[in-house]
Amino acid sequence: MKNILHKSFGQWILKLCMLLLCCLTILTLSMAPVHAQEQAFVTDNANLLDVEEENTLNKTCKELSQKHNVAICIITTSDYGSGDIKDWQRQYYQSHHLGMGEENSGIMLAISMAGRDWGIVGFGNAQKAFTTYGRERIGELIVEHLSDGDYYEAFSQYASLADEFLVAAEEGEPYTSDHKYQESVPIPFIVLGSFLLSLIISLIIVLSWKKSMNTRIMQDSASEYLKKDSFSLSNRSDIYLYHTVNRTRRVKRESSTHSDSSGSSGKF
8-17, 96-105, 119-128, 196-205: least confidently modelled range: 8-17
By three-state DSSP, how is residue 210 classified?
A: helix
Q: Of 190, 183, 115, which Cα lies nearest the Cα of 175?
A: 183
Per DSSP, the chain holds a count of helices (H) and strands (E) of: 7, 6
180-227 residue pLDDT tens: 998 654 445 444 544 555 556 656 665 666 566 655 555 555 556 556
**pLDDT, position 256:** 74
Measured distance between the N- and C-terminal CA atoms of the chain, rounded to whole angstroms: 83
What are 135-145's pLDDT values in tens digits?
Answer: 999 999 999 99
Does residue 33 surpass a pLDDT of 50?
Answer: no
pLDDT at res. 261: 86
Provide the pLDDT for residue 37: 45
Most confident of 36-40, 86-90, 206-210: 86-90
Note whether 107 and 162 are within 8 A (CB).
yes
Backbone CA torsion sign across 137, 73, 91, 97: negative
Q: What is the mean pLDDT of residues 32-44?
A: 67
Tell if the pTM clears 0.75, that is, is over it: no
The Cα 107–Cα 93 span in angstroms is: 10
